[in-house]
Homo-oligomer: A and B are copies of this chain.
Amino acid sequence: MLAQLPPALQKLHLPLRLKLWDGNEFDLGTDPSVTIVVKDPSLVSDFSHPSLDLLGSAFVEGRLELEGSISEVMRVCDELTAALVDEDDNVVPVRTEHDKETDAKSISYHYDLSNAFYQLWLDKEMVYSCAYFKTGHETLEQAQQDKFDHLCRKLRLKPGEYLLDVGCGWGGLARFAAREYGVKVFGITLSREQLALARDRVKAEGLEDRVELQLLDYRDLPQDGRFDKIVSVGMFEHVGHANLELYAKCLFGAVKEGGLVMNHGITAKHTDGRPVGRGAGDFIDRYVFPNGELPHLSMITGFISEAGLEVVDVESLRLHYARTLDHWSMRLEEKLDVAAAMVPEQALRIFRLYLAGCAYAFSKGWINLHQILAVKPRPDGSHDLPWTRDDLYA
């Protein structure tokens, strides 16, 4: 039976046990911390070239099981693929057309899954984006509040200002900005589940007069410069490379002269957006974020600039997102039984891999997180930003 394992596999030394469908076991090293239970015999031949997409897909389909802590599973599976798969296999994926219909479907697929499920492992405010850890030791709850504050500070929000929140999720940031900074907020999302719960929370907090949330596509935003500031968190990843130019123009049209625009989102390692991580991106595209496309920092800053916005402050929070995802993954792993009653088994398998996998991907630098602040200068080139960033840290 062991002879059936591809020769390439037998040469490896990894803390990995392969358990085959007939009960035979094969250890690739001493003291294995992870076990891959191969339930489908046809998988064995694939193991000579096991991309992370292959392993992940087989897990989602129930053709293999993964045993061990989910973070250790990611680490060992990565070492396995790194030893056997050439990173250069990655090519720039074919990008899909993004229109309002496909975007609405893609967003609904992920975000309308189950509010209860997301509540299970997100913080209380259900902030579904990179947190901001001031020392690295904060709780997730604290770090998400600090992220809100960091964004509001960067936007130099002042009482009475009108803030647009593009991709408002469950409305945590919109309510925070209204409550703590006294602004009026217009938030948009394409997820009906998010919108319903977000509106409930606005009402529960008595903020209806200051926070208005709508199911709206960014392409339908008013273009009359009515907003003093714009914040977009975890949104541009869904826009698509082909539409980033239009996206930037829509933000430019929505914000007033002298106004600020914050884009906070995941960026690709390479300038052409091709993924790294030996198939990890294919898995994400297939199962997690259909039609998601990560732009490189240079791509998003390019489109922002050409739209007429001036990039004034960029900050990478890559390791903050690794830490955030570690929190999410650990919280989910602690409640797998409860989660299993909320979503289909396949969805749970997808989320287990996706959360642990993205934590790993951020820690390795396969993907990044950038907060990109831009200003729409007045025709004479002026704006109201302070001379330094001191005020962010006062």
Which chain A residues have a beta carbon within 8 Å of chain B's beta carbons? 132-136, 269-271, 296-299, 301-302, 305-306, 310-316, 318-320, 363-365, 368, 370, 377, 380-382, 387-390, 392-394
Q: Which residues of B contact A387 (CB under 8 A)?
A: 133-136, 319-320
User: Given A301-B298, A387-B320 in contact, is the A310-B365 Cβ separation under 8 Å?
Assistant: yes
A297 & B306 in contact (Cβ 8 Å cutoff): no
- Pair A302/B393 contact, Cβ less than 8 Å: no
Residues of B within 8 Å of A310, CB to CB, are 316, 318, 365, 368
Report the separation of the CA atoms of residues A391 and B394 in the bound assembly, to the nearest whole angstrom: 11
Question: Given A271-B306, A313-B316, are A381 and B364 also a contact pair (CB < 8 Å)?
Answer: yes
Chain B residues, Cβ within 8 Å of A365 = 310, 377, 381
Name the distance in Å between A201's Cβ and chain B's nearest Cβ. Answer: 29
What is the bound-complex CA distance between A132 and B377, given in angstroms?
20
Cα of A392 to Cα of B392 in the assembled complex, Å: 11
A148 to B313, CA, bound (A): 19
Secondary structure of the A contact surface, majority rule? mixed
Contact of A311 among B132, B297, B389 (CB under 8 A): B297
Among A306, A368, A388, A390: residue with most chain B CB under 10 A: A388
When the two chains form their complex, are residues B134 and A302 in contact, meaning their CB atoms are under 8 A apart? no
* A103 shortest CB reach to chain B, Å: 25
Q: A377-B365, A380-B364, A389-B393 are in contact. Are A305 and B313 (CB under 8 A)?
A: no
26 intermolecular pairs with C-beta atoms under 8 Å apart? A132-B388, A134-B388, A135-B387, A270-B305, A270-B306, A296-B302, A297-B305, A298-B298, A298-B299, A298-B301, A301-B301, A310-B318, A310-B368, A311-B316, A311-B370, A312-B315, A313-B314, A314-B314, A314-B315, A315-B389, A363-B381, A364-B381, A388-B393, A389-B389, A389-B392, A389-B393
- Our pick among B132, B305, B318 for the contact of A296 (Cβ within 8 Å) is B305
Q: Which residues of B contact A133 (CB under 8 A)?
A: 387
Q: How far is the CA of A390 from the CA of B136 in the complex (A)?
A: 13
Q: Which residues of B contact A271 (CB under 8 A)?
A: 302, 305-306
Minimum CB–CB distance from A232 to chain B (whole Å) comes to 18
> In the bound complex, what is the Cα–Cα distance between A200 and B270 (angstroms)?
44
**Cα distance A394–B394 in the bound complex, in angstroms:** 9
Q: In the complex, A364→B135 CA distance in Å? A: 39
Q: Residue of B at shortest CB range from A390?
A: B393
Within the complex, the shortest CB–CB distance from A358 to chain B, in Å, comes to 13
Chain B residue numbers with a CB within 8 Å of A393 are 388-390, 392-394
